[in-house]
Structure 1
Amino acid sequence: MTQKSEAVPETSPIPYGRQHITEADIAAVVETLQSDFLTQGPKVEAFERAFADYVGAKYAVAVSNGTAALHLCAMALGVNEETRVITTPITFVASANCIRYCGGTVDFADIDSATALLDIERVREKLESKPKGYYSGLIPVDFAGNPLNLEKFRKLADEYGLWIIEDACHAPGGYFYDSHGNKQICGNGQYADLSIFSFHPVKHIATGEGGMITTNNELLYQKLLKLRTHGITRNQELMEENHGGWYMEMQELGYNYRIPDMLCALGISQLHRADAGLARRKGIAKVYDEAFSDIAGVETLQTNKVAIDESGDTGHAYHLYVILVQNRKGLYDFLRERNIFAQVHYIPAHTMPYYRKLGFKKGDYPEAEKYYAECLSLPIYPSLTQQEQEYIIEKVKEFV
């Protein structure tokens, strides 16, 4: 009986991430279901305005998911067969796949071992190894919610004539401080041409599926609106002809990447408590930090220095809390046997069979591969209880 109790404890499964749906969320969706619009209605634009205000951007375009957001960004920037783009191997593959969707070429640069973020010096080395104009753009990722120093990436991009898509799926509400001491919120459009977010259930703001693109560029914004809906416009000022009130024009080849009103209603409701959820994530991360600070055999990723102010407050958005251990597979299995469903983020993109067919191979990016061999994401979400977190810490310590 003792062994059985240890292997299958009397606790509910603890996932690495979980959505938090309240009665207010449910009421917002029900209200929309009872309205005249289920899709292409007023909630879409309301969600876009609210989210743009939240991150401090001029424009926002809501779409069906984060991958659609990346794809539309690549299309809006004119990615084609002649385009070459650099991104990080430690990301969900969509960050790279969006370039392949448009026929472009993906390249990778290794990560900073301390933060697991795209290493700007490795990017610079790659750029310097080719003539100017060889590469077209960069897709840096605010991995785990840890904000990149986009000011430095912007300076490098301008030096080589590159555009930037910021993959901020992990970092709504995250921020860093620029060289003038100004707070720069992830997705505010000050340094990236376009930024993208995801509203998958494990993200800070959950709509089931959904995504958002933010930008300060009006031309890109108008192009995104068309591409989201089959390349069609109803804006009379943009039409070549006008046959009447029914008339619409398909001006280029786009996609059906729209998002329904009911999901936007949920997004608006979730956005109302986004700050509280982010504060809770930071609180959970602080407890983990303190618990593992003096435990031999457990390392944690460092927060980017530009995301920490003088008081010690951090702009890290903590979508993930990652630890590094030598026997990652052993700890992963040990925790699962005890109803703790930690996860691995991510398998290096360049080691996937698809990208190996394009010429990449294991050994190309040693820091990313070393990180992958040791990384494990522990549960972190606003409704994680103190008791559950103490149990997780206890079991990690027991194993190591």
Structure 2
Amino acid sequence: MDLTQTLTPVVTIGLNQHPNSFNYSMTELNNLAEANNMKVVETLVQKLDRPDPATYFGKGKIEELGQVVIDDGVDTIVANDELSPSQIRNIEKATKARIIDRTGLILEIFANRAQSREAKLQVELAKLKYQLPRLHTSASQRLDQQTGTSSGAGGATNRGAGESQYEMNRRTLEKRITHVNHELKEADKADQIKRQQRDKSETPTVALVGYTNAGKSTIMNGMINLLGENEDKQVLVKNMLFATLDTSVRKLALPDQKKFLLSDTVGFVSQLPHQLVQAFKSTLAEAANADLLIQVVDYSDPHRDMMIKTTEDTLKEIGIDNIPMVVALNKADKMETPYPTREGDNLIMAATDKKSLVELTAIIKEKVFKNFKTLQLMIPFDKGDVVSYLNDNATVLKTDYDANGTLITAELNEVDAKRFSRYVQPVD
């Protein structure tokens, strides 16, 4: 967050319907508000079994909220749940303040952070789908501004004109949704071509997934440094929810020449808006096509079990539930526990610790290169291109020469083993 930027003062509100997770969800809401350049000046909560269908809070609490808005001099309220159009309209009418719900807040953050064309399109699609059923709210002017439509200088003066304006706004949104969907399909085709080209090389893929701010980008940069790659391959690291939305992919080489692709994907958060889960399917395609997932978890956070469940539930919702996974319990340096420590497919580690990164790299090597075969190949001297390919793309264990050609002992993936099967020699 740019500290020189003026922060918008807000009041956050929430209903305590789930005592076990409520305090954490409110803390997370306040962190999301901070990530959206807001300053939380007061938090108001109420314990209810279910939201009031008209005003979210009960009548007395709404009156208290209106007074808090006046006393604190704020004009924005942030709610911890997704609100209905009528709830938004009624709260705004009662408090004379703008109301933004949790879904709208996350959408604003994503809209501000999206960098690539595809991410911007995905966020726009999610916002349009979120706005469509909310055309009747008092936020119509903001809707017009966000979508590029205009309600006219004078506004509606009778019911007929209002209905006409509503239909015009609705058609504009639906037309834009169709257009964005088309652009996303074109962008997805281009991404599929890129992935197919990578698949042809049979380079294994590893995807970092997990809760936002768990340390995925720090782990990626640590591995880039560990494996001696150029610094310009590093990705953005910032101590903020949703610091980056775009998936970053880097090709890394192990000391024995084995290569793999490592991707850093967008982080998850509890109550992630359904619109975004659907819209970001293509962004998370790197995870969907991975050979191995590394779920990065903030081991020092007391709510880590909830974070793990949130990540796994989100992955399952978008159809990613059948890929081998390793859990990296990160930030162990904040705990009084030894690290790195491996427990099955779990690794207790710290992203800033070299030994931890070495152990994580060893796990990746163990998991994604397990099907490699050690073969002895006799390459004729006139097939120098094959020798060059093997030296560049395989783990060459030994090289000898005789009258027939170059005798190479190498570890090959299944595709290359089949490709060069005619050169295979029996091992003595």
TM-score range, shorter chain: under 0.3
The answer to which structure has the higher helix fraction is 2
* Higher RCO (C-alpha under 8 Å, 6+ residues apart): 1
Superposition TM-score, scaled by structure 2 size: 0.26
